[in-house]
Amino acid sequence: MLTDFDRWVDDHGPPVAAGPGGPFWGYIEVVRRLAEKFDVEDACVAGTYRVKTPAGGDELVLPIAVLQMPRATLVLRWDPEAWPNEWTLSVERPAPYRGPVLGLFDPARDLSASKLEGLAPDYLFPALAVSPARFTCELNDEWDLAAFTRLVVWEE
């Protein structure tokens, strides 16, 4: 199934011949693998933003990815310049998330007043400790993102 996210990538991504291992394609691959692993019903783009790559300083235009699943909607933003917290994840669930965070992020850190290019204020929620059904957090890398996605999507 071709999603809105896939169409955006086809229309705006750099040519694969230019280097499939580059940061743009790495980000796209993480989003696509999450979508496949967690049976995403729909993947779309909710905005775009620009980042500079760490090596060489090339500018990339990246999509804000929205992954809609039965138990949660996830909004993803990756920024290779934002070390150590490269991933911003906003979660919206019909039921509050009461499971563990396993030290993957600070559940009391409120990012709702942050100004992150491309991420609409509608997708910046309070901290998990304040709003367990709609929250935004920062994660270090794609491994932390995958681990927490598993927790938040499968917890009832």
- Shortest CA distance to 116 belongs to which of 79, 144, 141? 79
pLDDT for residue 20: 53
Q: Give phi and psi for 134, each to the nearest 5.
A: -145, 105
Q: What pTM value is reported for the model?
A: 0.91
How distant, in Å, are the alpha carbons of 2, 18, 37, 97 from that of 154? 25, 38, 12, 10
pLDDT for residue 65: 97
pLDDT for residue 84: 82
Structure tokens at 31: 């989003």
Quote the CA–CA distance of 108 and 61 in Å, as a whole number.
Answer: 30
pLDDT for residue 16: 65
- Domain edges within the chain: 4-154
Q: What is the pLDDT of residues 110-152, one digit of tens each?
A: 999 999 999 999 999 999 999 999 999 999 999 999 999 999 9
pLDDT for residue 19: 57
